[in-house]
Structure 1
Amino acid sequence: MTTEDKIPEKASAKKSLARRPGTKVRRQKGVESFDPMRVEPLSPSSDEVSAILETTAPEAAFDLDDEALTAALDEAALFAAIDEAESGAVEIVVRSETAPTVECEETAPELVLEPAGTAPAVELETVGGSQSVAEPLVADHVGTGDASSDVVAVEADRPATEEAVAPAYEEKPAARARKFGHVSAFRAYQTRLRAHNLGRNLLDKKKISEQTLFAAVKEQEVTGDRIGEILVRNQYLTNQDRVQAILEESPSRIAQEKVSKTRIPVELLEKHRIIVSTIHEDGIFVGTMGDERIVRRIVEHHYPDKTLTFVPYVASAFQPFLANMRKSADMDGAITSQENLLDRLVYKALAMGASDIHFLPRPKSYSVRFRANRIMMLEYEGTAEEFNKIVAQAKNRARLDTSKKHLPQDGSFQLEFNRKMIDLRVNTTPNIEGESMVIRVQDPERVNPHIQNLGITRLDSWVKGVTREGGLCLVCGKVNTGKTTTLNATTRYFDRHAMKIVEIADPIEQRIADVSQISINESIGYTFNKALEAQLRQDPNVVILGEVRDDETARTMMRAAATGIMVIATLHTGSILESVNRLIGLGVKDHELKYVLRAVMAQNLIRKVCTSCHGTGRASDGFACHDCGGEGYAGSTLVSECEYFHDHEEVDRLLSMRTDASVARSWPTIVEDAVGKYRQGVTDLLELDRVFGAEVRPYLEAEVS
């Protein structure tokens, strides 16, 4: 077989399966660069050879047959192959018609293949000198059937110096750019994403996108943290979804997990050496060194609704786990000690699902109230001296001035709870007894649910509005009606990797990864309007505006919406019509509004009847229900009125409703939505009467009659 027979007129690419250490194939002058977008898929045959691909690291070599090679010529797969071989020195040479030459450069020896007739012989150089061969050397692929033992046979004996090691490869990014042109880092890495088991599971279940997984992988390269922990920390994934993915992909790994709280008393955990790895919706995973029969009875007594699964016991993790459980038990117990009082109150609030903690001073004492499920309840009573200490401690953590008691102050700090960081907003205001303090508890898994889990009845109308290329969408509601939660859920609905998203608020309540969040500071003149004008120069796709307070901000907002930016803002109004009236009252003209308004949603919150005890507050054993704490309600849901405006004619119709009572509404009101959820069994009549009062009574009377 001659060299001329081996090289066709139009070069194709075929991979040599050599694993000789010290080999590097490089591109030389006269050889065209490889353009994966231009080269057509090839079907190599025994009559075609155009490239040799070899690596310096055996573990980085790729054994491909002809069919696999054809697939490897796909752009993404080829980039992935290069990345996998980064530990060695890999380059691909594609022969051009005008210069059909491939040079295989080694430390020793050096082999050059040229077409027959252009060179009478091939010079084989060694470290000690050179020798000539009468016939041109021809590389021929010899397959043994075992990919690991395939080699390249050369029709001449090779010198012993062939095993010399090649110099280190030092130009990975630059070499890749020279060979394939400039592509994004994501495209170059894309086909390797599914090599990660947890990532592949989450991609298949559409919990995350490929861009999100890629961002987590790059962050992992910097921080060294696990992929799942990064996704949870950046709020792309809930901890529950992470645990579920681990159970599906590698159940044995669940033993490495540890809960931060359990119903099992610490004494029993210590006596029977029990480690609770995780508590899932349907099961509980436990490791133990004790008698599994006894442990099973203990677990089933405290978790009768969970399926018990035993996992490997990690002895080194027992003492740290036990210490955390003691700390958790102390936090949940009666608050009788001043030691770490602030932390104890915060942990107790988190355990109860409270949204905020209120500190109210009196002449000789002070009280601590939790707002849980929208209802205030007294939790603790302490002395006035203790109050001064706890306020000073909270101010120090929130970086506030402890000496200023005559002015309101806002700040924030974080605490770790259940392997996640909890944001705590601190606000102090002066009153006749000194100053009162409120701490807003921002548990990311409670305040940042998926937009589909908020309970928006006409969610499709809202999504249509916010996904338009530009315009104005409004989230409206009174104080403490979940507007910020809706804004955050909407923000996470966008592709944060592909879009520039800016949030302006006073203050920022919840950190969201990959979003530019700006907290205004009116004390230095940095107002909503100035922040918005500054951000418009940074070419955002979406602007989240925490509140429209004045006509100046309203005008800037309308200007941004008219230029193709999607602006999502909040107003303190209770209905769609009230929202339109408020904007017009702030100086927005009818003709401005009708061309940019996309959607308006007014909302409120109602408590949901507990699904475990069905509102009775009692479990089957007669004790207080674990899920609702004996209250009969567990969690809350949105009730809303929402409308999408497709064009200016529909907005004109909305504007005409302000003055013409004969124009009928095209959406159900917020009260009608609440009554609908009562009919579905989501809530009850007492809750509707508590939230809406006389406004809902005509509907309730109709129900009774």
Structure 2
Amino acid sequence: EFAAANDLEQETTILDENDSEASVIKFVNQIIREALQERATDIHIEPLEDDLQVRYRIDGVLRNIPVPPRIKLFQASLISRIKIMAHLDIAERRLPQDGRINLEFEGRPIDVRIATIPSVTGESISLRLLGQQRFDFAQMGLSETHEASVRNLLALPNGIVLITGPTGSGKSTTLYTFLASLNTKDRRIVTIEDPVENKIPGVVQIAVKPEINLTFAAGLRSILRGDPNVVMVGEMRDVETTEIAIRAALTGHLVFSTLHTNDAIGGITRLVDMGIEPFLVGSSVRAFIAQRLVRVLCPWCCEPAQYSEQYLKDIGIPLEKAKTAHRAVGCDRCRQTGYQGRRAIFEICIVTPLLQEMITAKATNAALKEAAKSQGMRNLRDDGWEKVAEGTTTIEEVLRVT
């Protein structure tokens, strides 16, 4: 079904009460297939009081999709069908359940993570579609300066590189892209993740299983006994994991991980707030990279944009960068959104000797920010303005995510 999905036209399923099983199977296959064709990252099937809504998350934005009439009658069958595909207990409707489905689409393996949530109007079910990305350094959209900084970081023999940002800001994709570019025959790369979102051939990937005490900390300890060159820890969740990662960096390993902070300098504060000694942060972390995802303008319908000089001054974009700004319009090719795809904007704070001293001396966030700027750090919004000047995205998108 899915292997041949690219040859199939998008269709509308008529749910037939006389042959409900076959039509429900067809409808579930159809929404997964359409979501993959539309490059959606998530599908949400949500029961309302007297209806059932299906939504796709495309380029970070939720969009309702048309559903057959009287779909509410098939609510239980739809949820049960997905539970069967994910090997979940179809009789358990009171507790949340997690599962997975493995599919093939256009010759690529797709991993679908399933999460059910019992709500007052019935079970809601979310499907996360993983395995669609290509981890290509050229696709990251790094500016020349940022690319040079990142290549220098990837060439380091040891130290920690931390990617920061809120959920859904593309941190995992950046980590996987870094690992894919380091993945050579002379390096042993081992990861511990929750969950393993994408498989990289040649990389040893471990999934955390807290129920059997395989936590980030326990997994990381065993990884370090296995002679790795490069280690990736899905997230610095607690002091124990962070301390082991720092020890690993100080004993000759290159470590990559993520933190949930709003900007690069916030990463320093987060580690210190966790209880990590400032001198250890300064001596082990090589860089903090903050990022966000902006939607890319649809090349078929975007138009040059005009803004008042006062508005441009108020938002802080240099006037020469706004000269080539475009606006989103919307056409059939981009589903009337004006955008197609996403690209990351970055803020890269390299821990220079000056910053190392300041971190150890417990300098304030404001002082660290000023010092980082004086050492060449460009903040997220400034990188966003570069993308506006190139015609990649819009002023509105940069303001939305920064």
- TM-score tier by shorter-chain length is 0.7 to 0.9
Deviations 1:347-376 (Å, cap 9, x if unpaired)? 100111111101112233321100112111
8 Å contact kept, 1:259–1:418: yes
The DSSP-based 3-state class of the residue aligned with 1:661 is: helix
1:546 corresponds to 2:259: no
Q: Distance in 2 between matches of 1:342 and 1:511?
A: 25
Give the one of 357, 376, 394 matched to 1:652.
357
Change (3 A) 1:392 1:460: farther
Number of the residue aligned with 1:510: 198
Change (3 A) 1:511 1:643: same
1:629 corresponds to 2:335: yes
Number of the residue aligned with 1:494: 182
Number of the residue aligned with 2:378: 668
Change (3 A) 1:340 1:611: same
8 Å contact kept, 1:476–1:483: yes
Residue 540 (structure 1) shift = 1.2
Give the one of 363, 384, 390 matched to 2:49.
363
8 Å contact kept, 2:265–2:365: no
Matches within 5 A, 1:577-656: 577-614=265-302, 615-618=328-331, 624=332, 626=333, 628-645=334-351, 648-653=353-358
Count of paired positions: 358
8 Å contact kept, 2:79–2:123: no
Deviations 1:656-696 (Å, cap 9, x if unpaired)? 5526638432311111211221122111123233333xxxx
Q: Distance in 2 between matches of 1:689 and 1:427?
A: 32
Give the one of 389, 394, 402 matched to 1:684.
394
1:334 corresponds to 2:40: no
The DSSP-based 3-state class of the residue aligned with 2:356 is: helix
Matches within 5 A, 1:333-352: 333-337=11-15, 338-352=24-38
The DSSP-based 3-state class of the residue aligned with 1:359 is: strand
8 Å contact kept, 2:190–2:228: yes
Q: Which segment is superposed worse, 368-377 or 679-688?
A: 679-688
Change (3 A) 1:429 1:532: farther
Matches within 5 A, 1:157-556: 261=6, 325=7, 328-329=8-9, 332-337=10-15, 338-381=24-67, 383-444=71-132, 447-457=133-143, 458-556=146-244
8 Å contact kept, 1:425–1:440: yes
The DSSP-based 3-state class of the residue aligned with 1:594 is: helix
Residue 590 (structure 1) shift = 1.2
Change (3 A) 1:426 1:586: same
Unaligned regions of 5+ residues in structure 1, if any? 1-257, 262-324, 619-623, 693-705
Deviations 1:308-352 (Å, cap 9, x if unpaired)? xxxxxxxxxxxxxxxxx3xx11xx122433242221111100111
Percent identity at matched positions? 29
Residue 429 (structure 1) shift = 2.7
Residue 385 (structure 1) shift = 4.8
Residue 260 (structure 1) shift = 5.5
8 Å contact kept, 1:462–1:643: no
8 Å contact kept, 2:282–2:351: no
Matches within 5 A, 1:71-90: none
The DSSP-based 3-state class of the residue aligned with 1:508 is: coil
8 Å contact kept, 1:428–1:437: yes
Deviations 1:471-526 (Å, cap 9, x if unpaired)? 11101110111111111111101134322111211111111111111111223322
Q: Distance in 1 between matches of 2:96 and 2:151?
A: 38
Q: Distance in 2 between matches of 1:467 and 1:433?
A: 53
The DSSP-based 3-state class of the residue aligned with 2:199 is: coil
The DSSP-based 3-state class of the residue aligned with 1:518 is: strand
The DSSP-based 3-state class of the residue aligned with 2:186 is: coil
Change (3 A) 1:431 1:635: same
Change (3 A) 1:548 1:577: same
Number of the residue aligned with 1:150: none
Change (3 A) 1:492 1:373: same
Residue 606 (structure 1) shift = 0.6
Q: Distance in 2 between matches of 1:370 and 1:649?
A: 46
Residue 415 (structure 1) shift = 1.5
The DSSP-based 3-state class of the residue aligned with 1:469 is: coil
Q: Distance in 1 between matches of 2:75 and 2:201?
A: 35
Structure with larger Rg: 1
Change (3 A) 1:499 1:389: farther
Deviations 1:270-319 (Å, cap 9, x if unpaired)? xxxxxxxxxxxxxxxxxxxxxxxxxxxxxxxxxxxxxxxxxxxxxxxxxx
Residue 616 (structure 1) shift = 3.2
8 Å contact kept, 2:164–2:288: yes
Matches within 5 A, 1:116-155: none
Residue identity in the other structure for 2:339:
Y
The DSSP-based 3-state class of the residue aligned with 2:30 is: helix
Number of the residue aligned with 1:274: none
The DSSP-based 3-state class of the residue aligned with 2:396 is: helix
TM-score by length of 2: 0.82
Residue identity in the other structure for 1:414:
N
8 Å contact kept, 2:183–2:203: no
8 Å contact kept, 2:42–2:128: yes
Q: Distance in 2 between matches of 1:406 and 1:652?
A: 54
Residue 403 (structure 1) shift = 3.8
Residue identity in the other structure for 2:394:
D
The DSSP-based 3-state class of the residue aligned with 1:595 is: helix
8 Å contact kept, 2:269–2:365: no
Q: Distance in 1 between matches of 2:283 and 2:395?
A: 41
Residue identity in the other structure for 1:673:
D
Change (3 A) 1:542 1:401: farther
Unaligned regions of 5+ residues in structure 2, if any? 16-23, 303-327
The DSSP-based 3-state class of the residue aligned with 1:340 is: helix
TM-score by length of 1: 0.48
Q: Distance in 2 between matches of 1:470 and 1:513?
A: 23
Q: Distance in 2 between matches of 1:372 and 1:559?
A: 40
8 Å contact kept, 1:425–1:509: no
For CA contacts below 8 A with separation 6 or more, give which structure has more relative contact order.
2
Residue identity in the other structure for 1:676:
E
8 Å contact kept, 1:599–1:643: yes
Deviations 1:162-210 (Å, cap 9, x if unpaired)? xxxxxxxxxxxxxxxxxxxxxxxxxxxxxxxxxxxxxxxxxxxxxxxxx
Change (3 A) 1:588 1:406: farther
Q: Distance in 2 between matches of 1:522 and 1:380?
A: 39
Q: Distance in 1 between matches of 2:131 and 2:366?
A: 45
Residue 428 (structure 1) shift = 2.1
Q: Distance in 2 between matches of 1:690 and 1:684?
A: 10
Residue identity in the other structure for 1:389:
S
8 Å contact kept, 2:297–2:394: yes
Q: Distance in 2 between matches of 1:404 and 1:386?
A: 18
The DSSP-based 3-state class of the residue aligned with 2:290 is: strand
Residue identity in the other structure for 1:372:
I
Residue 604 (structure 1) shift = 0.3
